[in-house]
Structure formats: C-alpha cells, structure tokens
Amino acid sequence: MNIIKDTQSNFITKIIDDDNHTKKWDERVHTRFPPEPNGYLHIGHAKSICLNFGIAQKYGGKCNLRFDDTNPLKEEDEYVKSIIDDVKWLGFHWEDEPLYASNYFEQMFDYAIELINQGNAYVCDLKSDEVKDQRGTLKNPGIESPFRNRSISENLELFKKMRAGDFLDGEKTLRAKIDMQHANLNMRDPVMYRILHAKHHRTGSKWCIYPMYDWAHGLEDSIEKITHSICTLEFEDHRPLYDWYLNSLEVYHPQQIEFARLNLNYTIMSKRKLKRLVDEGHVDGWSDPRMPTISGLKRRGYTPKSIKHFSDEIGVTKRDTVVDVAKLENALREDLNKRAPRVMGVLDPIKVVITNYPEGEIETLDAKNNPEDESAGTRKISFSKEIFIERNDFMEDPPKKYFRLSLGKEVRLKFAYYITCTEVIKNENGEISEIHCTYDPKTKGGMSDDGRKVRGTLHWVSASEYIEADIRLYDRLFKSQNPEASGDFVDDLNPDSLKLIKNAKLETCLSNAESKSIYQFERTGYFVLDSKDSSENNLIFNRAVSLRDSWAKLNR
C-alpha cells in the first residue's frame, strides 16, 4: 500500500501500520468523523476532522461524515448544514452522502431485541434519578434494579410497547444487564434506550424511543465497517462497554482508539457553553469572530491551511495538555505572511500637509504587493500634498529612541519620500488637528542617494484618494487562561474583546475587496472583509490577527 509521506506519524498511525503489517483489516483503513448536530463545530472538532480525514488520505482509505443524531431535543438542521459546510471548507470530502445514526434506528432496535432474547437487556421502571442513585460509586457497588429479573417475554412485550408510544417520557428505559458490581461504572447496567416523545429533525414522529450514545456508537461503527474508531480520551472508560455490546451481538467489531482532545487557553471548548454565549447574547451568534467555532474563525480570517498546520504542529498524544492559543495565531501569521497582499490603512488618522509639495498635484507611485513573493508584483498608489498618518505615529515630546515623527525629525513614508515635521496646528481645545511637514523630492521611493539614514518608516494614505471603512479589532474573548478557574466562565468575558473603529482611511484598491481575500494592513495586522455585515455602502474589515503577539507583553 502506498503511504503519503508528508503526513505526520503518531501513535495512532503506528497502530494502523502494525495492523496493516499483520493484515488485521486486509490493509483497509476506514475512519469516521461523527459529530452530534447540537451546535456549531469548534477548533477542537477541526483537529478531529483533520485527524480522521487525514488518516484516511494517508492510507488511501475512506472517512465517513456521520451525524450522531440520537437526541431530538437538541439537534437541528441548521447545525447539520453548518457542519457539512465546515468540513468542506477545511478541504475534506467523503465518497457518499453524509450518514446519520438515524439511518440505523431500525437495525439498532432489532439488535436490542436480540440482546433481550439473550437475557442481556431488560426494561426498567426506575426514574432517571433512581437509576443514578443506585449506580453506586467508585468505592461502593451499585444496587440491582427490582425489575432486573423480568422474564424475556415480559421485556420483549414492554420494549415493543415503549416503541409503540404506550408510555410517558421517562416512565421506562431499556437497560443492558451486565454487572452492578463492576469496577467500571459504565458497565453497571447502562441505559440503552429512553422514551422521548419529540419530533426528530429527520425521522419526524416515527420514533418515541431513542438510543443512548454508548449503545448507538459501536453499532454505527460496526454497520459502516469502520476499522479504527478514533475518539477523545473521555471515551476511554466507555471502551469496555463498546466492546461488550459488539461482542454480545457477535457482529463486526472495529477498534476504538482514544487520543487527547484539544484544550486551548483563553478559550471555552464546549458546544453547550458556547451555545450559552450565543443564547444570552454575549456574542454575535455562532459565527462571531471571537468564537472558537470554525465558522467564527473563518469569518475572522483564518484559513484552512493555517488550521491544518496548527493541527499538525500540536500533534496527537494520549495525554491531556493545554495548548497556548498563540500557536493558533502564529499558524495563521505564517500562512498569511507568505501570500497576503499588502495595503496601507490608517485606523486613527491625522492629516499631514506637505507644505512644499506642488498644490493640486497627484503623483502615482509603485508599491510592492508582497515582499515575501516577488511574483505578486506591484500596484499603483496616489501621493498628494495632503496625506493621513496614524495619530500615534507623532509625538510632540518624544522619549529617547523614538523613531517616528516629531518636531524637527525626519521619517520615511513607505514607497514615497522623506518628510520632516516643521509645525503642529492645534484646535481651540489644544488638540493637534494638523501636522505640517516638508518633503525631500530627491528621496522618491523612500531612498536617499546621499547616504543619510532614517530609522522610522510610516504607512500613510493620500487625502486626495482614499476610501472609508469601519474596522473591528478582535482580541481574546476571555481575560484568563482558564475562564472557568474561579467560577462562572461568563464572568471572565473580556470587555475589550472587540474594539470598533469608525471611518478608517484605506487605499482605494480595497473598494473591490472580496470577503475571502485577506490583506496585510502595513504595520497593523491581517484583515478580511466581514462576510456578514459588510456591504458596498458600508465596508467593514475584521482583524484576523495582529502582526505579532502583543498579548504576552500586555499581560506579564
């Protein structure tokens, strides 16, 4: 079998290599990505997508996209669509139509009948809190249900009545008959089916009993002939139950392998908790650029390549760790630095008047689109007597080693000329309203032929030709590395996670920006046109990431 050599090896691929060597699966590799459609996927799911689809690609195998839709109370078609879009956006594809646990409800029911006929399952009348109370603890054994020894015929009759809708929600469950004294709590007669009179997003009202995840999981893998069922570590203690169900039924038996889930600092990695942020209005929906959802990262300006690179960088392990979110940000910088076109944008503009520049003249200059990629070529930018620079690029009384503009000091305007500040104009409140400078016409292109050195280089935008746009500067959604460390994670929300800047001055080329195009604003960061709120008459750019990590310095 041909193996793609540029895919990283890890303990899972070593297991697969050993399986292929022994011909355990006849060198067939078949994985699956099985999300529950109860929310939008986040960066942790992206790691699992990259792992499962990546392994299938590495070994020339197959990966199923399968929805674990066994809980009609929380699942919606909106989530199904978003998951399909996210997987495709990351660049992965599956051979057939997406699969669903609900495809197999009839087969699962038949398998449950088989377990009852074996004497390995029974209908229990205990309420959910009673089942929980009688489960026992790690130190104390569980208590057997008084309904555990019902006859096979009675269990069959009751289970069929459960399916027929003869009982109320929670009135009865079907439980596996294993061992209430087992050291693993998951093996203490777990519930297989519960009654839910709820409309399912695919099957409607056909069913009123729904399988529990542990019962459905192994059967789905078995029916689809999965070879390697790759799960996160929280399912390690559930593996004996996975094996027990499949062994008891004597059906095709995949191998479950567990790996450590992704944990990021300054981030919440739970769909349930992310949904709370959405429901309570703390964020602008699931696709808010501050959210760790794939749709949020996409809207913010993250690329599939950066997320795949991040997944490769952090690797696959058996030990839970917390990854610094800066690694994710750096993965994006590495990708964009090589290919993002450069433009100039002034976010907090102040006007500079070049007093010795010819009145009414507009000059066209050449600017490199990307110094990291010569093939990106150049663009034309306009220069005139009046320009805008960043307000914080000027100081009246600068400290030592200040290399930007101040009275009597010379700086370089990128792609243009050297200028020297000669005067500051203030308004009636004593605030600087305008800066006057002179320019050296012999320094066109930002270079001097007399050997003098200028330490400061400023970006700028011509006041004669520019467009205006609103800018959203995003920061980390939470203040603390572990938002849940001191209580409710909502209390740790960062009030400065979004800063809105109105009427920034940008190069005119950005009037034709597309939502998928990402630009580096010189000296400021990487920006993308907002895919949701931006319009032709109201351009809005999101900062995907700054040029360098400033958070570490601010929070030392």
Architecture label for domain 271-341+469-554 = Beta Barrel (2.40)
Helices then strands, each counted (H, E), the chain: 13, 25
**DSSP characters for 409-430?**
-EEEETTS-EEEEEEEEE-TTS
Using the predicted structure, report yes or no on whether residue 500 has a pLDDT greater than 80: yes
Rounded average pLDDT over 130-148: 97
Structure confidence by residue, pLDDT tens digits, 80-119: 999 999 999 999 999 889 999 999 999 999 999 999 999 9
C-alpha distances out from residue 154 to 211, 283, 398, Å = 20, 52, 88
pLDDT given at position 519: 97
Using the predicted structure, report yes or no on whether residue 157 has a pLDDT greater than 90: yes
Mean pLDDT of the chain: 95
Number of residues that make up the chain: 556
Q: Band the pLDDT of 27: cuts 50, 70, 90.
A: confident
- 447: number of Cβ within 10 Å: 11
CB 325 within 8 Å of CB 313: no
Q: Do domains 271-341+469-554 and 345-459 have the same CATH topology?
A: yes
Residue 46 identity (one-letter amino acid) = A
Which of the residue ranges 61-75, 136-150, 194-208, 446-460 would you say has the lowest mean pLDDT? 446-460
Structure confidence by residue, pLDDT tens digits, 331-347: 999 999 999 999 999 99
Superfamily for the 11-259 domain:
HUPs (3.40.50.620)
Catalytic residue IDs: 36, 261, 271
Domain residues of the chain, as ranges?
A: 11-259, 271-341+469-554, 345-459
Structure confidence by residue, pLDDT tens digits, 357-404: 999 999 999 999 999 999 999 999 999 999 999 999 999 999 988 999
Q: To which residue do tokens 């220069």 refer?
A: 383
C-alpha distances out from residue 457 to 355, 523, 524, 546, Å = 20, 10, 13, 18
CB 440 within 8 Å of CB 475: no
Structure confidence by residue, pLDDT tens digits, 217-276: 999 999 999 999 999 999 999 999 999 999 999 999 999 999 999 999 999 999 999 999
pLDDT given at position 550: 59
Q: Does domain 345-459 have CATH number 2.30.40.10?
A: no
Burial category of 387 from C-beta neighbours within 10 Å (exposed 0-12, middle 13-18, buried 19 and up): buried
**DSSP characters for 336-353?**
HHHHPPEE-EESSEEEEE
Structure confidence by residue, pLDDT tens digits, 290-322: 999 999 999 999 999 999 999 999 999 999 999
pLDDT given at position 154: 98
Using the predicted structure, report yes or no on whether residue 516 has a pLDDT greater than 90: no
pTM for this model (two decimals): 0.93
d(CA 216, CA 292) in angstroms, rounded, equals 28
pLDDT given at position 515: 80
Rounded average pLDDT over 452-470: 95
pLDDT given at position 451: 77
For residue 486 the two structure tokens come to 């001191």
CB 258 within 8 Å of CB 319: no
Q: Estimate the crossing angle of helix 152-164 against helix 105-118, to 10 degrees.
A: 160
